């Protein structure tokens, strides 16, 4: 092999090595770029996860706070407004979902975000309440079709609150709301009973004005009750009533005084 041939071979080898080096350099740069992008993606994922966690925690806290009554309140319930208040008429395009706060001296009805466009809220002082009744709900046609029971007994629950009261002008109204707190209709009915228990234990029902006919605040009413107790005492002396029965009936009559 001549000198020129060796020189050409050497030049070719150098060229090949240079080309290989350039390819390796490009490959290394691509790998570094890929690592950089992977790191950025990992950081972005971590940031996204943290932001998601923060958002979820904020929503949970907001949801938790929304279930708490206003300051001084005893408990908050979610209810569906059915109607009865003269200032608020429920329409087809109006959301019926509102809140009920049990306050020490009043029922306080508040709007939820979805009902703020038409419902501004109202309050009913306990001394204006004539009566509070829990009645059976009305079953819709859709519920009848979807009900698992043949006679819809699972939906025939008492979870509708009817509050009869007097406004500031002395006019009588009946506000109706269906309990929503509780996962099922039966659970909502149970919550209604728990609410009544709360009203009794907190002495709230004693603040209700009731009806005049139920108020034995005159002498004749008191005399009538005392007369009934005397009759019960005679029945006890005759052995018709036991001591326990007499005391039970006497306690019921004394509560009316």
Q: What is the C-alpha separation between 208 and 201, in angstroms, rounded?
A: 14
**Predicted local confidence at residue 212, as pLDDT:** 45
How far apart, in Å, do the first and last CA atoms of the chain sit? 134
Residue-wise pLDDT for 185-223, tens only, equals: 999 999 999 999 999 999 999 999 874 444 444 445 566
Q: What is the C-alpha separation between 145 and 124, in angstroms, rounded?
A: 37
Residue-wise pLDDT for 104-156, tens only, equals: 999 999 999 999 999 999 999 999 999 999 999 887 766 666 665 555 667 78
Residue-wise pLDDT for 23-70, tens only, equals: 777 777 888 888 888 888 888 887 888 777 666 666 666 656 667 999
* In-domain check, residue 139: yes
Whether 129 and 228 share a structural domain: no
Q: What is the C-alpha separation between 183 and 157, in angstroms, rounded?
A: 13
Q: What is the C-alpha separation between 225 and 240, in angstroms, rounded?
A: 20
* In-domain check, residue 244: yes
Whether 28 and 93 share a structural domain: no
Whether 191 and 97 share a structural domain: yes
| Count of other CB atoms within 10 angstroms of residue 73 | 15
Whether 25 and 98 share a structural domain: no
- Closest to 137 in 3D by CA, of 118, 110, 158, 153: 158
Q: Helix, strand, or coil here: 52?
A: helix
Q: What is the C-alpha separation between 110 and 178, in angstroms, rounded?
A: 14
Matching residue, tokens 């709007």: 111
Whether 109 and 221 share a structural domain: no
CATH number, domain with residue 167 = 2.30.29.30
Domain hosting 48: range is 1-65
Whether 33 and 85 share a structural domain: no
């Amino acid at each position: 092999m001549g000198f020129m041939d060796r020189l050409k071979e050497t030049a070719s080898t150098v060229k090949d090595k240079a080309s290989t080096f350039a390819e390796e350099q490009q490959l290394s740069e691509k790998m570094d770029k890929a690592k950089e992008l992977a790191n950025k993606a990992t950081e972005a994922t971590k940031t996204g996860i943290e932001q998601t966690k923060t958002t979820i925690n904020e929503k949970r806290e907001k949801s938790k706070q929304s279930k708490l009554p206003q300051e001084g309140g005893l408990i908050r319930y979610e209810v569906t407004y059915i109607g009865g208040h003269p200032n608020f008429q429920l329409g087809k395009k109006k959301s019926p979902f509102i809140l009920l706060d049990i306050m020490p001296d009043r029922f306080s009805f508040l709007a939820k975000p979805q009902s703020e466009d038409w419902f501004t809220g109202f309050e009913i002082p306990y001394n204006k309440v004539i009566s509070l009744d829990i009645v059976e709900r009305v079953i819709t046609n859709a519920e009848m079709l979807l009900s698992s029971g043949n006679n819809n007994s699972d939906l025939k629950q008492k979870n509708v609150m009817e509050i009869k009261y007097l406004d500031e002008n002395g006019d009588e109204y009946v506000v109706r709301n269906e309990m929503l707190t509780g996962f099922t209709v039966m659970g909502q009915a149970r919550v209604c009973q728990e609410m009544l228990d709360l009203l009794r234990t907190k002495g709230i029902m004693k603040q209700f004005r009731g009806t005049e006919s139920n108020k034995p605040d005159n002498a004749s009413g008191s005399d009538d009750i005392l007369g009934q107790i005397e009759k019960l005492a005679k029945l006890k002396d005759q052995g018709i009533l036991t001591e326990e029965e007499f005391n039970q009936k006497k306690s019921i009559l004394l509560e009316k005084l």
